[in-house]
C-alpha cells in the first residue's frame, strides 16, 4: 500500500482529497497547522490508514520524521490567493516557497511529489487564445509568484508532477466562499444581488472532487507523466464572469446582477486554458458547473443557517 503525505490536508482541497485517497486504497498522513481552527478531518480518524500530525510544514523537525516512511508527497499547505498573501507576505513567502525548498532538500530522490500550482500566471493574455503549458507563466501577484517559483524548483529537481489548477468550486468540509463560483452562488442565495467588475474577463474552473481525482490519476500514472506541468480544468468551463453569473441566475432566478468597474484583479486574469495535455493522459474533469452550483445552493442552506443572525 502506498503511503502519501499531504501537507495542508485539512484545507478546502485537502479535506476532500484525503477521503478520495483513502477510498482509493492509499495510506494518508496529513501535516497541517489548522490555520482556520478547522475540524474538517474528524470523519477520517476511525480509518486505520489515516493519521494526522499537527504542525508547521516550514519546520524541519515536523517534516523530516514524516518523510522517513512516505512514498509520495502532495504539498497543499499554502497561504492561498492574492488577498491573503497581501495581508501576510512573510507567511506567503515562507509557506508557499521556502517550505517547498525545505521539502526538496529533505526528500529522497525516489519520493514523488505532486504539486498544485495556480494557472493565474497566464492571466495577462487576450482571453481569445487557449493557454497551453508552453504559454509563459508571468504572475504579477505575490501569490502567483511564490507558487510559480515553487513549481519551477520542483520541475528542475525532477521526480515531480505539477498541476496548474483552474479555480476550484463545490462544497468541501473546509468551505471557501471566496472562490469565484462559490462566491457568486453565495451572493445569489444570501444577498440576491452582486456587483461585478471586469465582467468580460474569462476564467476557468474545476470541481474540488475532480481535482482530488486528478491527484489519484497522477499517482497511478506517475512514471509516464512525471517531470511535466499539466493544466487541470473542466473543458466546458472557460467562461467570462458575466457568463458565470448568468449560469448561477439560471438556478437562482431572483439574482440581480449589476456591472460596474469597482475593482480590478492584480493578476489581470483574462484567459482560456487548454486541458488537452492532461486529457491525453486519460484524465477528464466531469462535474459540470450546473451540478456544482446546485450542490452549493443546497450546501449554503446548511452553512448560513442562523450562524450570525436572528432572522
Ligand atoms: N482552491 C483553488 O482554486 C486552487 C487553485 C490553484 C491552486 N491551489 C493550491 O492548492 C492548495 C490548497 O488550496 P486550498 O484551496 O485547499 O486552500 P486552503 O487555504 O483551504 O488550504 C490550505 C491548508 O494549508 C494549511 N496551512 C497553512 N499554513 C500552513 C503551515 N505553515 N503548515 C501546515 N499547514 C498549513 C491550512 O491550515 C489549510 O488547511 C494550495 O497550495 C493552493 O495554492 C488551489
| Dist. CA 264 → ligand 1 center (Å) | 23
Beta bridge partners of 195: 258
Cell digits of residue 26: 492509499
Average pLDDT (153-167) is 97
CATH number at residue 38: 3.40.50.720
Distance 56 CA to ligand 1 centre (A): 13
Distance 81 CA to ligand 1 centre (A): 9
Helices (H), the chain: 12-23, 60-66, 82-87, 89-93, 99-106, 142-157, 180-190, 208-220, 222-225, 241-251, 276-280, 289-303
What's the residue count for the chain?
311
**Residue 307 falls within a domain, yes or no?**
no
Over residues 179-231, the pLDDT tens digits come to 999 999 999 999 999 999 999 989 999 999 999 999 999 999 999 999 999 99
- Give the residue among 2, 1, 50 at the shortest CA–CA distance from 28: 50
Q: Determine what percent of the chain is predicted with pLDDT higher than 90.
A: 85
Residue 33 inside a domain? The answer is yes
Q: Which residues contact ligand 1 via a Cβ below 6 A?
A: 7-8, 10-14, 31-36, 56-58, 76-78, 80, 95, 116, 118, 147, 165, 167-168, 174, 176, 179
Q: Which residues contact 111 (CB under 8 A, 6 or more apart)?
A: 67, 70, 71, 72, 73, 159
- Quote the cell numbers at residue 153: 524548483
Of all residues in the chain, the percent with pLDDT exceeding 70 is 95
Res 309: pLDDT: 62
pLDDT band for position 271 (50/70/90)? confident
Q: Which atom of ligand 1 is nearest to the CA of 77?
A: 24
Q: How many domains does the chain have?
A: 1
Average confidence (pLDDT) over 122-136: 81
| From 5-19, 79-93, 265-279, the region with the lowest mean pLDDT | 265-279
| Residue 265: per-residue pLDDT | 75
Between 151 and 264, residue with greater pLDDT: 151
Residue 52 lies in a domain: yes
Which domain range does residue 84 map to? 3-170+204-235+274-286
Whether residue 136 lies inside any domain: the answer is: yes
Residue range 246-253: mean pLDDT, rounded? 98
- Triad 237, 242, 246: Cα angle to 5°: 80
Query: Is residue 264 a part of any domain in this protein?
Result: no
- Residue of the nearest CA to atom 39 in ligand 1? 11
Q: Between the ranges 26-30, 236-240, 306-310, where is the mean pLDDT highest?
A: 26-30
- The reported pLDDT for the residue numbered 306 is 63
Mean pLDDT of 40-60: 98
Residue 188 lies in a domain: no
Q: Is the pLDDT of residue 65 over 80?
A: yes
Angstrom CA distances, 103 to 53, 67, 288, stand at 16, 9, 35
122 part of a folded domain: yes
Whether the CB-CB separation of 32 and 8 falls below 8 Å is answered with: yes
- All cell numbers assigned to 214: 486528478
Give the atom of ligand 1 at the shortest distance from the alpha carbon of 96.
41
Whether 305 has a pLDDT exceeding 70, the answer reads no
- Give how far the C-alpha of residue 86 lies from the chain's centroid of Cα atoms, to the nearest Å: 18
The pLDDT tens digits for 89-121 are 999 999 999 999 999 999 999 999 999 999 888
Assess whether pLDDT exceeds 90 at residue 124: no
Q: Ligand 1 center to residue 10 CA distance, Å?
A: 8
Q: Quickly tell me which residue has 498522513 as its cell.
A: 29
- The rounded Å distance from CA 96 to ligand 1 centre is 9
What cell does 47 get?
Answer: 480509518
- Averaged over 136-163, what is the pLDDT? 95
Residue 125 pLDDT > 70: no
Amino acid at each position: 500500500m502506498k503511503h502519501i503525505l499531504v501537507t495542508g490536508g485539512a484545507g478546502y482541497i485537502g479535506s476532500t482529497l484525503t477521503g478520495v485517497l483513502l477510498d482509493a486504497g492509499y495510506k494518508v498522513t496529513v501535516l497541517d497547522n489548522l490555520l482556520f481552527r478547522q475540524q474538517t478531518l474528524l470523519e477520517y480518524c476511525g480509518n486505520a490508514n489515516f493519521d494526522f500530525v499537527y504542525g508547521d510544514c516550514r519546520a524541519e523537525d515536523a517534516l523530516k520524521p514524516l518523510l522517513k516512511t512516505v512514498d509520495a508527497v502532495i504539498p497543499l499547505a499554502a497561504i492561498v490567493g492574492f488577498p491573503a498573501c497581501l495581508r501576510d507576505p512573510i507567511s506567503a513567502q515562507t509557506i508557499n516557497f521556502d517550505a517547498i525548498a525545505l521539502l526538496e532538500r529533505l526528500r529522497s530522490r525516489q519520493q514523488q511529489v505532486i504539486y498544485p500550482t495556480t494557472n493565474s500566471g497566464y492571466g495577462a493574455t487576450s482571453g481569445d487564445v487557449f493557454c497551453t503549458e508552453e504559454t509563459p507563466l508571468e504572475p504579477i501577484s505575490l501569490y502567483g509568484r511564490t507558487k510559480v517559483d515553487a513549481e519551477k524548483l520542483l520541475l528542475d529537481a525532477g521526480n515531480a508532477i505539477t498541476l496548474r489548477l483552474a479555480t476550484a468550486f463545490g462544497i468541501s468540509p473546509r468551505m471557501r466562499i471566496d472562490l469565484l463560483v462559490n462566491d457568486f452562488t453565495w451572493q445569489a442565495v444570501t444577498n440576491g444581488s452582486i456587483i461585478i467588475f471586469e465582467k468580460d474577463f474569462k476564467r476557468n474552473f474545476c470541481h474540488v472532487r475532480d481535482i482530488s481525482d486528478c491527484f489519484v490519476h497522477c499517482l497511478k500514472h506517475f512514471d509516464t507523466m512525471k517531470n511535466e506541468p499539466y493544466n487541470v480544468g473542466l473543458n466546458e468551463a472557460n467562461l467570462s464572469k458575466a457568463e458565470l453569473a448568468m449560469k448561477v441566475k439560471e438556478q437562482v432566478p431572483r439574482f440581480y446582477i449589476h456591472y460596474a468597474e469597482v475593482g480590478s484583479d492584480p493578476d489581470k486574469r483574462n484567459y482560456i486554458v487548454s486541458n488537452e495535455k492532461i486529457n491525453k493522459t486519460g484524465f477528464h474533469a466531469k462535474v459540470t458547473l450546473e451540478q456544482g452550483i446546485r450542490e452549493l445552493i443546497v450546501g449554503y442552506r446548511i452553512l448560513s443557517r442562523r450562524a450570525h443572525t436572528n432572522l
